[in-house]
Chain A
Amino acid sequence: MNNSYLIKTERLKKIYPMGPTTLVALEGVNLIFKKGEFSGLVGPSGSGKTTLLNIIGTLDSPSQGSADVMGRKVETLSHKSAAQLRNQHIGFIFQTFNLLPVYTVFENVEFPLLLQNMATSERKKLVMEALEWVGLADRAQSKPAQLSGGQSQRVAIARAIVKKPELVIADEPTANLDAENSHHIMKTMVQLNKGLDTTFIFATHDEKVMHYLKRKISLNDGRVEKDEILEREMWK
């Protein structure tokens, strides 16, 4: 992996066939994300935020150009290698939590570690650590149905960070939360970013999220319109 950056996209283009025509979702995106960034992709619907997250998260591959994620070229990754990269190095946070309802909080957070064939004692330690980071260690045996929206999203964050990934990708993580919970969640992620040096990349419309960003990348019609480093008191 290149030490100067975690992710680098060059002339990134993504085209979707739409019947007889095509839709250009990304057009010549050149971006570099360094380790420990807390960045947000903002822009109106259809601006290419989720498409870019898909490619950075190795869920999709570019039509043209290249995307280097932790030293791997996404355009040449096989499905299996991409899954392996996600499993070991990337955490995902979704708008709708996506917790598995039949499993406890502990088991939901444990699940990504099961895929890594980790020893039980090690798993238990990491899960409890992750739950402590998000302040839910005392709810380890609860079921998702017994949690509030904010608590559920914190469990989803714990699941994303339990394997200590270099990168966490979050698509509209506060969209289903009220203002208080949104701030709480964002503060948790800021602490994790500071404590673990985990890189966070968000796609968001939410002003409350933008308030916490170190870097804001505005997309419009698949192009980077503005890329700003923000001076925030909380990051000093």
Chain B
Amino acid sequence: MIKFLFKGLIRDRSRSLFPVLTVVTGVFLSVFLYSYLNGVVSQMINSTAHYQTGHLRIMTQAYAQEADQNPIDLAFIGVDNLLQTLNEKYHQMLWTPRIKFGGLLDIPDENKETKTQGPVIGMAVNLFSEFSPERKLLNIKDAIISGRMPNKTGEILIADEFAKKLKVAPSDTATLISSTMFGSMTMANFKIAGTVRFGIAAMDRAAIFTDISDIQFALDMQDAASEILGFFADDIYNDEQATLIAASFNKEFKNPDDPFSPRMGTLPNESGLADYLNMVGSMAIIIITIFVVTMSIVLWNAGLMGSLRRYGEIGLRLAIGEDKGHVYRTLILESVMIAIFGSVLGTLAGVGIAYLMQVHGLDFSFLFKKTSMMIPNELRARVTFGSFIIGFVPGIISTVLGTSIAGVGIYKRQTSQLFKELEV
């Protein structure tokens, strides 16, 4: 019977082509949008984790309350001990200290007078240690536009856009004017080793990158850091595990009465992404629901048109002794065949285009010029295992649902009218 139905579907294009095209279109859009949304969210999570919060972030409670302002006077001291403890207790994570600071970057002319200057945000990370994960996390090597990586103390990288604004180039000197951890004014000279562009507007506007030891020295922060970030070894955020680690750490180290005691937070909470990620999760469900409903209505109508076209055939089948339930089930079976075929084609098309968008991406930098979110300028899709199966949900549900509703008419056929109906 299945072979018989399949032959009918293949030969009668009006019975298969329109439903298949509808399913292909809906599944293609579902797969592509899912993969693109997935890619954007993944990029956002990765950028936020790598450049801002880590998968886990430790700060003093006082610092955490003012974290937006990078208040280094509230940073914690005793970083080496804490890092040792973290590496022993939570060895599944990679731990790395960072200092975020602000100041003024002054560029002197040949007479050591100010040529240009501008406010700057700085990030001090462990650039020199061979065990440091930072080079990989920040993808510094690939971000270098001109010059080279700093390889000795006193060298910095500067955002390419910022460098152009200040009219500086590699090997020029720059002076950081800032305040120490204890509030006194400080100045430190650096040599620009290279310029970088990360493709993230918030990072590329006005940022410098230094080794943490240089900034600890310049800002009087020996054995201090504004934060310690933890990353899963495979660089994939695991919320369940992160929450467990944070709870265990806070239970042991966080003291509500001591504002300088450390506290640990997870990526979604630290970045304020929790609600956003929930919303994105809901968006995926909303997108699929919209496609299921829309496609169901279209396929319901297609089913009704098909039923009208096949009125004679269905009547004949009832007359020669096919049970109504059996006719109905064969229609559903046909729809499942169409759904599977359409879903496979739609998924292949969706995954194919999504893969192209994963490789090439779309440049949205014109939208992100003023954003402070850690979102890459070039948004790419991400093809995952889910991309290969997500399309089957709207593809199969809508086709079967549409046919189920359209096919109900079979139960309303009066067999006593069949002679009349079949002799028209």
- A114 contacts B321, C-beta separation under 8 Å: no
Residue B322 interfacial (CB < 8 Å)? yes
Do A96 and B422 touch (CB < 8 A)? yes
Query: Is the pair B419, A111 in contact by a Cβ cutoff of 8 Å?
Result: no
Segment from B44-52, B253-261, B312-320 that makes contact with A: B312-320
* A112 to B319 CA separation, bound complex (whole angstroms): 10
Binds B, one of A78-86, A130-138, A147-155, A184-192: A78-86
Cα A154 to Cα B258 in complex, Å, equals 98
In whole angstroms, what is the CA distance A33 to B316 when docked? 25
Measured CA separation A91–B319 after assembly (Å): 9
Smallest CB gap from A54: residue in B: B416
B415 in contact (CB, < 8 A): yes
> Taking A54-B416, A102-B8, A102-B12 as contacts, is the C-beta distance between A87 and B316 under 8 angstroms?
no
CB < 8 Å neighbour of A60 from B8, B415, B422, B424: B415
A54 and B8 contact, Cβ closer than 8 Å, known pairs A59-B319, A87-B322, A112-B321: no
Q: Of A83, A92, A103, which is in contact with the most chain B CB atoms at under 10 Å from its CB?
A: A83
Q: Which one, A59, A94, A107, contacts B416 given CB within 8 A? A: A59
Nearest B-chain residue to A99, judged by Cβ = B316
Nearest chain A residue, comparing its CB with the CB of B11 = A102
Which B residues are CB-close (under 8 A) to A110?
4
**CB-based contact B423/A84 at 8 Å:** no
Q: Cα distance A81–B219 when bound, in Å? A: 92
Q: Does B91 interact with chain A (Cβ within 8 Å)?
A: no
Q: Specify the main secondary structure of chain B where it touches its partner.
A: helix
Complex CA gap A159/B419 in Å reads 16
Q: In whole angstroms, how far apart are the Cα atoms of A88 and B7 in the complex?
A: 24
B185 at the interface (CB under 8 A from A): no
B418 at the interface (CB under 8 A from A): yes
B323 touches A83 (CB 8 A): yes
A98, B422: Cβ atoms under 8 Å? Answer: yes
A88 close to B321 (CB less than 8 A): yes
Contact B313 A59, beta carbon cutoff 8 Å: no
Q: How far in angstroms is the closest Cβ of chain B from A163? A: 9
Say which size band chain A's interface belongs to: 20 to 34
B370 in the interface (beta carbon within 8 A):
no
A103 to B316, CA, bound (A): 14
Given contacts A100-B316, A102-B11, A114-B4, contact A90 B321 (CB under 8 A): yes
Residue B1 CB within 8 A of the other chain: yes
- Contact indicator A86/B324 (Cβ below 8 Å): no
Q: Known interface pairs A84-B321, A102-B12. Does A59 touch B415 (Cβ–Cβ under 8 Å)?
A: yes
- Measured CB to CB, the closest approach of chain A to B74, in angstroms, equals 78
Name B418's contact: one of A59, A79, A80, A114 (CB within 8 Å).
A59
List of A residues within 8 angstroms of B8 by Cβ:
100, 102-103
Nearest-neighbour CB distance to chain B for A158, whole angstroms, equals: 13
Considering only residues 97-144 of chain A, those with a C-beta below 8 Å from chain B are 98, 100, 102-103, 107, 110-112, 114-115
Interface residues of B in 29-48 (CB under 8 A from A): none
Asked whether A171 is an interface residue with its Cβ less than 8 Å from the other chain, the reply is yes
Interface string of A41-53 (1 = CB under 8 A from B): 0000000001001
Measured CA separation A112–B419 after assembly (Å): 18
Residues of A within 8 A of B321 (CB): 83-88, 90, 112, 115
Verify A83–B313 contact, CB threshold 8 A: no
Measured between beta carbons, the chain A residues less than 8 angstroms from B136 are none
On whether the beta carbons of B320 and A112 are closer than 8 Å, the reply is yes
Please judge, given known A-B contacts A102-B12, A107-B4, A107-B7, whether A53 and B322 are in contact too, CB under 8 Å. no
Q: Does residue B420 face the partner (Cβ distance < 8 Å to A)?
A: yes
B residues with CB within 8 A of A: 1, 4, 7-8, 11-12, 312-313, 315-326, 415-416, 418-420, 422-424
